[in-house]
Structure 1
Amino acid sequence: MSFQARQTVRPLDPPPQYRTTTNTLGGYGLSAPRMPQTVTSYFGNDRALPMYKDKPYFAPRRTVPRRRWKLILNVLGVCTLIYLWYYKGSLLSWNTTAPYDAQDKGLELWKWVQSLDDTGASKGSVDWDERREKVRDAFVVSWEDYEKNGWGYDEYGPMTNKRRNMVEGGMGWIIVDALDTMILMNLTKPVQHAREWIHTSLQYNQDHDVNTFETTIRMLGGLLSAHYLSIKHPELAQITDDDVGAPGEDLYIEKATDLADRILGAFDTRSGIPLASVNLNKSEGIPAHNSGGASSTAEATTVQLEFKYMAKLTGESEYWTVVEKVMEVMDDLQPQDGLVPIFINPDSGKFKGNEIRLGSRGDSYYEYLIKQYLQTSEQEPVYKEMWDESLQGIRKHLLAFTQKARLMMVAELPSGIGGNLHPKMDHLVCFLPGTIALGATGGQPLSEARKSSSWTQQNEDEILISRELMKTCWATYLATETGLAGEITYFKLDKEPVMMADKYPLAPSNAGSTPKELQSISGPLTRSDSDPWRSDLSIHTADRHNLQRPETVESLFYMYRVTGDEIYREWGWEMFVAFVRHTAVLEEVYDEEGQAQKRIKGFTSLSNADTIPPVTRDNMESFWMAETLKYLYLLFSDRDFISLEEHVFNTEAHPFPRFKPAGDLKTGWTRKPRSAPDSGSGPESL
């Protein structure tokens, strides 16, 4: 049967579509033909320079003789008028013929989601393998839409097929970021196509500044993770080599090395603190434009996992020492109770301003403390000390309880320690419950960790905190009409805020005592509109957008892996169903009898997630495929698939292996004696 689809914009030179006729984990296109080797064959086996570096960004532009332009424009004008008259409609909707087979994922997904109840439940017992496959299907729909209508571009809007590059030729922002997700999902042919683009089109010599942190965590992290997975799991997304005699994984590490060398220029400052941006062509750092040259504290301290793994892979200690120096400078400032202001001056190496928060510009500093400790197989205890100190500071100064339901939330300190609490939580803060649980057990199952002689009451307290904060993050989803959280949530506290430090004072570290499991502080979250917890939350009009962020599902992934509690899987499933139901971009498909059906074309961010239908914003963030769908897929997978005991995920969800550092790859510094809180030089003013 033939079908006709109404689409928004005609695709430009669409690549082959990747479809499968099975719902199992088999890779897409396992029998795909080998990539052509014409370039290698022509130049022989001399590989002094990787061939991908010699490729142009784009095909040569064809020119049209000047005299023909007038005729062409006239013809186009007439066609446009006929088009408008015939359809009496918009410039964005028109008909084109496109065949869809019976396994079209967009068609299947929309039919499926319409059959579910409000919570995403369906008839029959829960099958987590089937649920995982639905996540995989959603990824395939997103990828195919991008591949067809936005291929090679760094930004893509699935509603209008708008696309834009960050720099000339593109950075691979979407392709590289999603690469390891495709490998984990065993999507062979999409990986082959992405790899071909990286091989032929991706270059890092653009004379343009890019964000140091974002480029490191997304692009460098994506390449390193793809390299690792292609070696560790060769059974996933098996592909052919790009060059004769060159192992398949070489491309990723060569690209990563080229990129890392260029990023190093950002660290060339008096203090060693990296500048906010870097010109890749010149390998020169560029100060931030909107903060008086100060760098974000989180950004400066969230490049360590990537560069340390680079050092491990290449044996080049410079990668290690430049990022290790940053951590030494940070710790030498002796932040009070381990809580750091959100800006730091790359020139002086001192904090700028006093504001403390675990949302934007603060979040991943704390995340990478415990993850650096785990990445190096617990061989660098300085990071465990820093993490424990910061966690105690968070508990003492930031953890507060809401007025009615006693939900635990993480407040902000706009004026620093000693100032008033600001009861506001960015969605970004929802990385914290999972990270605390990860730090408490080191990634082990809770039941096993509790058997250790080193398990203390402090560890039990951390599990309680992680559970309570996870519940609060989940409440921000239940609080909206779509079931998808807003970007920022405000909480109602008592006039004199009740703090975690007041309700549960820090237990002494008595290794000989038997830790006591603490009971839940807040009650269950019901869906009743009259439930008291709802009056504790407020989402301002300007903050109701949902950007497909991953932090809550990231924590659900860790919480399930650590505690084994199925409730975290169920919450994740409800989130996934809400994403499919409310962020799907739909198009109509007509069969030859004219019967209309709807299929999902892609998924987009929302400008307002607190109304139905939601208000969309025509943008697919790269972390939708790199993080959100990846964490959902892992949440519904077996626990030993990419296990927490053997891996550490960077802040963009790219998995790296744990390893034991040797030789020059070591901390190389010791912590200075702690000063009194009111001594020493304070931070610079903003």
Structure 2
Amino acid sequence: MSFKLPDTKPSFGIKQQRAKEDSVWKALRNNNTSPFTASIPNFRSKDPQLPLYKDKPLNNQTSSWERRKIMFFKAFILGLAFYTCYYIGGLLQGVEFGNNNNSLDNLTWKEKQDQVRQVFKETWKHYETDAWGKDEYHPLSHKGKNMGPGPLGWIIVDSLDTMHLMGLEEEFKTAEAWVANELNYDMNYEVNVFETTIRMLGGLLSAHYLSKNDMFLEKAVDLGNRIIGAFDSPSGIPYASVNLHTKKGVKNHVDNGASSTAEVATLQLEFKYLSKLTGESLYWEKVEKIMEVLDKNQPKDGLVPIYVHPDTGKYQGKYIRLGSRADSYYEYLIKQYLQTDEQEPIYNTLFHESNYGIKKHLLRHSKPSNLVFFGELERGFNGGFSNKMDHLVCFIGGSFALGATGGEDILTARKSGSWTPLKEEDFTLGKEITHTCWKTYEGTATGLSSEIVVFNDDEDSTKDFYIKPLDRHNLQRPETVESLFILYRITKDPIYREWGWKIFQSFVKHTKTADGAFTSLSDVTTVPPKLRDNMESFWIAETLKYLYLLFDDENLIPLTENVFNTEGHPFPRFDPNPLFKTGWSRDGSHKNTNQQQQGKPKDQIHQEEIVIDDKKGNSKHHEQQPPKLNNAPVAAEPAKPALEQLKDLNQEPNQQQESDDEKAKIKAKLAKGENVNEIIEELIDQQA
């Protein structure tokens, strides 16, 4: 598989530059010298201690009046030249002049993409100067520090693929040399399994995928072998942390030792790809075991509590939400199915089950604008409903869209024989929740979303949401722009680019420090906002990457050929056969679900789809025929609330009594992955 870089950003031969690269990174330790000018012969940086230039004495024959005229004229010309350079330089760097943004708004999308690239370069320049090699960066205090006794590459490794995609040759080569020479994971230090996997292992694997440099894969294998010890629990559910030197798992020090559900269920893409690259089945078996154990809990309507205990494999507590500690569990269901070229239909089954539960239990509309939002069940299904929604939930717009289309553009997907009203419903819901997420940006003084919002659903409400004082911070998170990127790729609707451009401008205006670095905010509801002294690595690993791809016209990293892990690192889709097969099924047998589809082409596996009767909520079969959608939503109308498509989502389905034999047949179908969309609601109705 290959990917295309823009013509203006030529590819570069990394291996041929190895000798030069090995010394380049060292220059970055010197704050007064550029890493690239350091290698230029006879280059000298400016010395602040040099004496000021002294004016030459004037010609004594020139009159004082003439001298004043000459000086005035020179000053005028100098001032004009300075302003011209300042103005042009400002345009090149995305600086706003006065209150007129027309010059920036009139840029082409390629020029806007270059603006994102420039912001990355500015961010990276300040990190190089202040904190090179450190895991944390504090832009206001101009400091950095490591999390453990040595660097983990938290910022550098997380940013490798972004630099490569942006064609930043020198920055990438310098970072590559640092990884080769300085990064060593053999340290007596406990790291979080989830964060280390998605950022470091994912970053190394993605860098290898894009650059084809085996050094990154060697580092990834070493790190993966250290992390895998965390999976040695009684249940197979990994412990929350692992010691990188001893390779022993460590229980969570809080929450009664439980691990978060999102963290244990968001390791699959990384370790399965590692198995594909190395041929080592251990990684594959360890992470798919997690999914088997979680599914044996038989979560109601596909919704899972946010904690699971590694000793027992059982869920702990009843808290259900789509935000923190749960978000990427749902994200990786459809991505596991897509990553393995749709050869593991069990994960598609789980994805559609969870979609059903989300619509049934978590979906509400705000007042007065009828914005779709997803709330929380703090005490489970029998407790009250909370209107709180994390910004983290905003990934799900892209997830719904990917699940409905598989990454195809919407026109192609709708023409396929497998398109159904259920897929149209999910796709519409993806657009609606993304529109809501955009509104959480548009509705603040800074144009940036807070970490959490609370929606109003009372009929007399005059505002759709409010923000509690402790939730007003912004960490430059990527989830909304991630969904904007996915929906633009699928719909080609420019509204998603326009929203993304406004978000980008707000980031530049409000999160840029006085000296040009970028940092997070304490309060998005006031202008100017108070700055926090911390830059999260996902600002450059995800947020700027997704914005860059949103404005891209070259189809970099096609959605039909790749999946992004939850830290924004792209991996290729691949056929797992013949080495790797799904090793579990719901009937308890260890069979390959692909073999159970023996003789069926991939595009015929789901030839029967569920069709929803909008008036009654009943389900009926629709075999091989494309649905007739007289009033299908238009891709260019994401801002229009799709109330007609969504109005019946919260209604209870009709309850039908099934015999034990019929239940067994349904479960057998699910275990085989057959006719997934047709039988999901049947099974859920039986378990309700």
Range of TM-score over shorter length: 0.7 to 0.9
Residue number in structure 1 paired with 2:519: 604
Structure 2 vs 1, CA of residues 253 and 627 (structure 1 numbering), >3 Å: closer, same or farther? same
Letter in 1 for 2:150: G
The TM-score with structure 1 as length reference comes to 0.74
Per the alignment, residue 17 of structure 2 pairs with 34
Call closer, same or farther: CA 1:123–1:318 in 2, change over 3 Å: closer
Please tell me whether residue 648 in structure 1 is matched to residue 629 in structure 2. Answer: no
- Using the TM superposition, give the Cα deviation of residue 123 of structure 1 relative to its aligned residue in structure 2, in angstroms: 6.7
The structure 1 residue matched to 2:492, chosen from 564, 572, 593, is 564
Unpaired segments of 5 or more residues in structure 1? Answer: 1-22, 41-51, 60-99, 232-248, 496-531, 588-599, 681-686
Are 2:114 and 1:133 aligned?
Answer: yes
Is 1:224 aligned to residue 205 of structure 2? yes
SS at match of 1:186: coil
Deviations along 1:586-606, whole A, 9 cap, x unmatched?
Answer: 23xxxxxxxxxxxx2x10000
- The change in CA–CA distance for 1:105 and 1:321 in structure 2 (over 3 A counts) is farther
The one-letter code matched in structure 1 to 2:175 is A
Q: Could you tell me how far apart the structure 2 residues matched to 1:537 and 1:201 are?
A: 47
Aligned to 1:459: 423
| Equivalent residue for 1:573, pick from 487, 501, 505 | 501
2:226 aligns with one of 234, 257, 262: 262
- Distance between the aligned counterparts of 2:85 and 2:135, measured in 1? 29
Q: Which residue of 2 aligns with 1:437?
A: 401
**What is the 5 A alignment of 1:239-388?**
249-388=213-352
Indicate the SS of the match to 1:443.
coil
Q: Aligned partners of 2:88, 2:189: CA distance in 1, in Å?
A: 38
Instruction: Give the equivalent residue in structure 1 for 2:676.
Output: none
* Separation in 2, partners of 1:105, 1:289: 55
Q: 1:123 to 1:301 in 2, by over 3 A?
A: closer
Q: Deviations over 1:609-641 (max 9, x none)?
A: 111111001111000000000000000002621
| Superposition pairs of residues 6-21 of structure 1, within 5 angstroms | none
Give the superposition deviation at 1:253: 0.3
Find the counterpart in structure 1 of residue 463 from structure 2. Answer: 535
Q: 1:669 to 1:194 in 2, by over 3 A?
A: same
Alignment of 1:86-101 (within 5 A): none
Q: Which amino acid aligns with 1:542?
A: L
Contact 2:164–2:172 (Cα < 8 Å) also in 1: yes
Residues 401 and 39 from structure 1, CA distance in 2 versus in 1: closer, same or farther, beyond 3 angstroms? closer
Higher relative contact order (CA 8 A, sep 6+): 1
Cα shift readout 1:289-342 (whole Å, capped 9, x = no counterpart): 121100000000000000000000000000100000000011111100000000
Q: Structure 1, residues 234-253: CA drift from partner, whole Å, max 9, x if none?
A: xxxxxxxxxxxxxxx11100
SS in 2 for 1:156: strand
- Of the three residues 494, 507, 510, the one matched with 2:458 is 494
Secondary structure of residue in 2 paired with 1:489: strand
Q: Is the 8 A contact 1:413 1:420 kept in 2?
A: yes
In 1, Cα distance between equivalents of 2:535 and 2:383: 38
Following superposition, the deviation at residue 109 of structure 1 comes to: 6.5
Amino acid at match of 2:310: P
Change (3 A) 1:109 1:540: farther
Query: What residue number does 2:97 align with?
Result: 115
Report what 2:65 is aligned to. none
Q: Secondary structure of 2:415's partner? A: coil
**1-side partners of 2:131 and 2:586: how far apart?**
49
Deviation at 1:25, TM superposition (A): 3.7
Listed one character per residue, the Cα deviations across residues 566-604 of structure 1 (whole Å, up to 9, x for unaligned) are 1000000000000001000123xxxxxxxxxxxx2x100
1:37 CA drift (Å): 7.2
> CA 1:24/1:614 → structure 2, altered by over 3 Å: closer, same or farther?
farther
Distance 2:467 2:536 in 1: 22
State the Cα distance separating 1:668 from its structure 2 match. Answer: 1.1
1:415 matched to 2:379: yes
Structure 2 unaligned runs (5+)? 1-5, 31-81, 588-663, 668-681
1:613 aligns with 2:528: yes
The match for 2:539 is: 624
Q: Which amino acid aligns with 2:356?
A: Q
Residue 512 of structure 2 is aligned to residue 584 of structure 1: yes
2:480 is matched with 552
Tell me how far 1:34 sits from its aligned partner: 3.5
**What's the CA shift string for 1:92-117, capped at 9, x where partnerless?**
xxxxxxxx9x9999963697332386
Following the alignment from structure 1 to structure 2, what is the Cα–Cα distance between the partners of residues 439 and 315?
Answer: 28
Q: Give per-residue Cα distances to partners, 1:405-427, cap 9 Å, x unaligned.
A: 11100000001113211000100
Bigger mean CA offset, 182-191 vs 25-34 = 25-34
Q: CA deviation at 1:33?
A: 9.5
User: What's the counterpart of residue 519 of structure 1?
Assistant: none
Distance 1:126 1:450, change over 3 A: farther
- Which amino acid in the other structure matches residue 329 of structure 2? Y
Larger Cα-atom Rg: 2
Give the whole-Å Cα distance in 1 for the aligned partners of 2:99 and 2:328.
37
Instruction: Tell me the distance in 2 between the aligned counterparts of 1:37 and 1:584.
Output: 33
Q: Structure 2: which amino acid aligns with 1:167?
A: G
Note if contact 1:109-1:138 (Cα within 8 Å) is conserved in structure 2.
no
Name the structure with the higher helix share: 2
Q: Distance in 2 between matches of 1:609 and 1:147?
A: 28
Whether the aligned pair in 1 keeps the contact of 2:274 and 2:283 (CA below 8 Å) is yes
Cα separation, 1, equivalents of 2:552 and 2:174: 26
Taking the TM superposition and a 5 Å limit, the aligned residue runs for 1:173-212 are 173-212=154-193
Q: Using the TM superposition, give the Cα deviation of residue 432 of structure 1 relative to its aligned residue in structure 2, in angstroms.
A: 0.5
8 Å contact from structure 1 (residues 28, 189) kept in 2: no
**Aligned-partner residue type, residue 640 of structure 1:** N
Q: Structure 1 residues 304 and 106 mapped into 2: Cα distance closer, same or farther (>3 Å)?
A: farther
Contact 1:374 1:658 in 2 (8 A): yes
Length, aligned pairs only: 535
Quick one: which amino acid aligns to residue 285 of structure 1? G
* Amino acid of the structure 2 residue aligned with 1:159: L
| Partner SS state of residue 385, structure 2 | coil
Letter of the 2:553 counterpart: D
CA–CA distance in structure 2, aligned partners of residues 485 and 35 of structure 1: 43
Q: How does 1:497-512 map to 2 (within 5 A)?
A: none
Task: Tell me how far 1:351 sits from its aligned partner.
Answer: 0.1
- CA drift of 1:562 comes to 1.0
Q: In the aligned structure 2, how far is the partner of 1:381 from the partner of 1:369? A: 10
Structure 1 pair 323/31, CA: closer, same or farther in 2 (3 Å)? closer
Deviation at 1:471, TM superposition (A): 1.0
The letter of the residue matching 1:163 is G
The aligned residue for residue 577 of structure 2 is 662
306-315 or 23-32, which moves further after superposition?
23-32
**Which residue, 111, 126, 132 being the options, matches 1:145?**
126
Q: Normalising by structure 2, report the TM-score.
A: 0.74
Q: Does 1:166 align with 2:81?
A: no
What RMSD, in angstroms, separates the aligned Cα atoms of the two structures?
3.0
1:655 to partner: Cα distance: 0.2
Q: Distance in 1 between matches of 2:462 and 2:351?
A: 33
Between the aligned partners of 2:86 and 2:558, the Cα distance in structure 1 is 32
